[in-house]
Structure 1
Amino acid sequence: MTGSVPRRVGFITVSAASHPHAITTAAPPVSLVERRPVVAAERLVAEMVPPPRFAGVSFGSYLPDPTQPSQAEAVTVLAEFAAGLNAAEAPRRGWFRRAAPAPTGPAGVYLDGGYGVGKTHLLASLWHAVPGPKAFGTFVELTNLVGALGFQQAVATLSGHKLLCIDEFELDDPGDTVLVSTLLSRLVEAGVKLAATSNTLPEKLGEGRFAATDFMREIQGLSAHFRSVRIDGQDYRHRGLPAAPPPYTDQQVAERAEQAPGAALDDFPALLRHLSAVHPSRYGALLDDVHAVFLQGVCPVEDQSTALRLVVLADRMYDRELPITASGIPFDQVFSAEMLKGGYRKKYLRAVSRLVALARDSARG
């Protein structure tokens, strides 16, 4: 027999052609702790796009709840906002072409509403509907960009954009809020259009326009430039945290990592220590070419700085939809009760929800 066909056995490829006894196994797991990513400023900006789960959304794919008129109204307002930007891009015909007029309407829109009403879907739809250059990122990603580039360079880099979308605007960090407010003021002066969302804290739900009022107060001088768009709806995420799947043993985690292509295997405490030596703007690059994360010895996080770094890593893993297989304690026990009641409660609740979701993805696989 000539030209025998390779047979696929699990993750081992057996070829009976010229090397009848040779086998090729999946590449061994990488270690995130051993990575020291260096990210160019151009990449940081280029990666400011909607996460993969919102890569193909549009206003048309958003299905408003017929019992909540504000949802359909929000689609209309944002579509008009996008149309204003597109109109400014329309080419002028004839011999005497004039520069395109500046976009009309407000400098920015703010989507005001609780968890789970589709604000990120709509924000990403707006981003997809307008011409570039444009950028999309969370509030944390934007502050990390400023930290990596420096304030002046960040202003210079983003000033040439037509639209900047900021998801999950944080109202619980006065220092960062003032920094971003100043940045946005400079960008508005340069003609950049803005769009933002922010989540109301669970205990504040139902208190009318709490989030919008807070947002307008925090951005101070910019408030007059924003149009607030209320999105009502059922807060399906405000039903308590989902139960985390039971952890695996260390041996099970290691064995599964050896069998999975694109696996990263790390000791959880060692990874937390490593994060302190990597700028948060590089956490995405830390996960380059990783398709699944395996963690041994998940344990409670003891201090605030480490916890906030874990939040950023959880966001980057969630953006990339990386399943997590872990040993130790369940992810819903990583943050203490005291942390979950403190000023960063919203961040920690989001991180737990996302880590648990990724752990469930692994369990289903």
Structure 2
Amino acid sequence: MSIRIEHLTDRRPHVSADELLAGFRPSERFGEVSFDTYRPDPQQPSQAGAVRELRAFAESVGRAGSGGGFFAKLFGGGPRPADVRTGIYLDGGFGVGKTHLLASLWHAVPGPKAFGTFVEYTNLVGALTFRKAVDALSTYQLVCIDEFELDDPGDTVLMSRLMRELADAGVRIAATSNTLPGSLGEGRFAAQDFQREIQVLADQFEVVRIDGEDFRHRGLPQAPAPLSGDELERAVEERFSGQVVAADAFADLIEHLSGVHPSRYRKLLEGIDAIVWQDVHTIEQQAVALRFVVLADRLYDKNLPIIASGRPFDEVFTAEMMAGGYQKKYYRAVSRLTALAREGILGDVSTV
């Protein structure tokens, strides 16, 4: 069967506000996961403990009085009872299954509900305006925020206010992150100047720690090395027969991303079965690297295998970036790109 070749650099997607809201659900990779499909590491009891915590949280969503709005009315605006949790926060390293568990929670709770990454929520506010975003999300039972992170003061003030208003409306909130709530923003901006806002965020959650090693690489071979030009062509023919492949020169793709808002990256990949990049190189500029991280997340969401030539993915960011304030983002991206490269060459699949 022939391969249909497309180029992401030819695509300039447009996404309406309604389409953005409709897209707030787990990606294809996590479309059918559940608490039962999560495989806790027996050497890490916190993983099984997190499942128990989330099952209990799921059962509490939708109960009369479980949210802030109800108690604000019942007690005349006074404090909530101490045993009522408005939110739950999964803190852990890369590849321990936080997204799998968050998606499982989303599937276990009746709607209306929303599931998206932190970046997607900030993009939603930008597309709808703050008030319209609050009005839309306030009608939901549950809002799930994956990869919670504070990159700048604007995000901090925005999300502090958004989450306070959602909690007051009775919306339950669940989040995942690589950073404890009280430490969000450290190393990225003058977080000490925004401690009030950060504390408002932290106060919404009960923190559940998940320990363990990166599941994407547990017991599996290292990612295959990048291919030469001839090897790239042969591998594409062997692996992607009958599929739609997005093939681009890496440099051209990186330049193209600067003209596509990150909220449109999901639409950018629509209808694509696999990714081929020619001459991957190290990204030198931080703004460019952060855009590429968002693309890596959307590729992983859609479980798109990658075949590439050039530099290996553990060299796609500079050493300074990997050691700087955004290092957790970059390590997550490298982990996910490595998993997709393994799928591209070896056919190994892991869902975390």
Task: Name the structure 1 match of 2:183.
Answer: 214
Instruction: State the one-letter code of the partner of 1:82.
Output: A
Alignment match, 1:270: 252
Residues 46-55 or 63-72, more deviating: 63-72
Runs of 5+ unmatched residues, structure 2 = 66-73, 75-79, 186-194, 348-352
The TM-score with structure 2 as length reference comes to 0.80
CA shift digits 1:86-121 (9 cap, x unpaired): 4449xxxxxxxxxxx9x9932211123333433222
Q: CA deviation at 1:33?
A: 0.6
Could you say what secondary structure the match of 1:219 adopts?
Answer: helix
Q: Confirm or deny that 1:235 pairs with 2:235.
A: no
Q: Distance in 2 between matches of 1:45 and 1:293?
A: 26
**Matching residue of 2:286:** 304
2:89 is aligned, of 95, 101, 110, to 110
In structure 2, do the counterparts of structure 1 residues 239 and 56 end up closer, same or farther at CA, with 3 Å as the change threshold? closer
Superposed displacement of residue 257, structure 1: 4.9
Q: Secondary structure at the match of 1:79?
A: helix
Task: Say if 1:76 and 1:352 are closer, same or farther in 2 by CA, change over 3 A.
Answer: closer
Q: Structure 2 residue aligned with 1:284, among 253, 266, 281?
A: 266
Offset of 1:331 from its aligned partner?
Answer: 1.6
Task: Please give the alpha-carbon distance, in whole angstroms, between the structure 2 residues aligned to 1:327 and 1:71.
Answer: 37
- Report the secondary structure of 2:140's partner residue: coil
Distance 1:75 1:360 in 2: 28
* Equivalent residue pairs, number: 318
Q: CA deviation at 1:276?
A: 0.6
**Gaps spanning 5+ residues in structure 1: where?**
1-10, 12-24, 90-100, 201-210
Name the CA shift for 1:215/1:26 in 2 (closer, same or farther; >3 Å): closer
Distance 1:248 1:212, change over 3 A: same
Deviation at 1:337, TM superposition (A): 0.6
Specify the alignment match of 1:321 in structure 2.
Answer: 303
1:357/1:69 CA distance change after superposition, 3 Å? closer
Once residues 316 and 259 of structure 2 are traced to their aligned partners in structure 1, the CA distance between those partners, rounded to angstroms, is 21
* Alignment root-mean-square deviation, CA: 3.0
Structure 2 equivalent of residue 161 of structure 1: 140
What is the distance in 2 between the residues matched to 1:187 and 1:37? 30
Q: How does 1:339-350 map to 2 (within 5 A)?
A: 339-350=321-332
Q: Check 1:324–1:133 CA distance in 2 against 1; reply closer, same or farther (3 A cut).
A: same
Aligned to 1:82: 58
Residues of 2 paired with 1:193 and 1:30: CA distance?
A: 41
1:271–1:66 CA distance, 2 compared to 1 (3 A): closer
Distance 1:243 1:311 in 2: 21
Q: Secondary structure at the match of 1:57?
A: coil
1:64 Cα deviation after fit: 4.3
* Identity level (%): 56
Are the structure 2 counterparts of residues 175 and 80 from structure 1 closer, same or farther at C-alpha, using a change threshold of 3 Å? same
SS at match of 2:6: coil
How far off its partner does 1:53 sit? 2.8
Alignment of 1:93-172 (within 5 A): 105-172=84-151
CA shift at 1:138, angstroms?
1.5
Greater relative contact order, per chain length (Cα 8 Å cut-off, separation 6+): 2
Change (3 A) 1:249 1:115: closer
Equivalent position SS for 2:277:
strand
Matched, 1:38 2:17: no
User: CA separation of 1:26/1:328 partners in 2, compared to 1, >3 Å: closer, same or farther?
Assistant: closer
Determine the structure 1 residue equivalent to 2:190. none
- Seen in structure 2, the aligned counterparts of structure 1 residues 271 and 132 have a Cα distance that, compared at 3 Å, is same
Q: Shift in Å at residue 58 of structure 1?
A: 2.1
Deviations 1:243-294 (Å, cap 9, x if unpaired)?
Answer: 5422223344356557642111111111111101101000010011100111
Matches of 2:325 and 2:303 in 1, distance apart?
Answer: 27
Instruction: Find the counterpart in structure 2 of residue 198 from structure 1.
Output: 177
Corresponding letter in the other structure for 2:255: R
Question: What residue number does 1:203 align with?
Answer: none
- TM-score w.r.t. the length of structure 1 is 0.78
Q: Which has the larger radius of gyration?
A: 1
d(CA) in 2 for partners of 1:350, 1:75: 22
Maintained 8 Å contact 2:44/2:212: no
Aligned residue in 1 for 2:203: 224
- With over 3 angstroms needed to count, the CA separation of the structure-2 counterparts of 1:158 and 1:362, relative to structure 1, is same
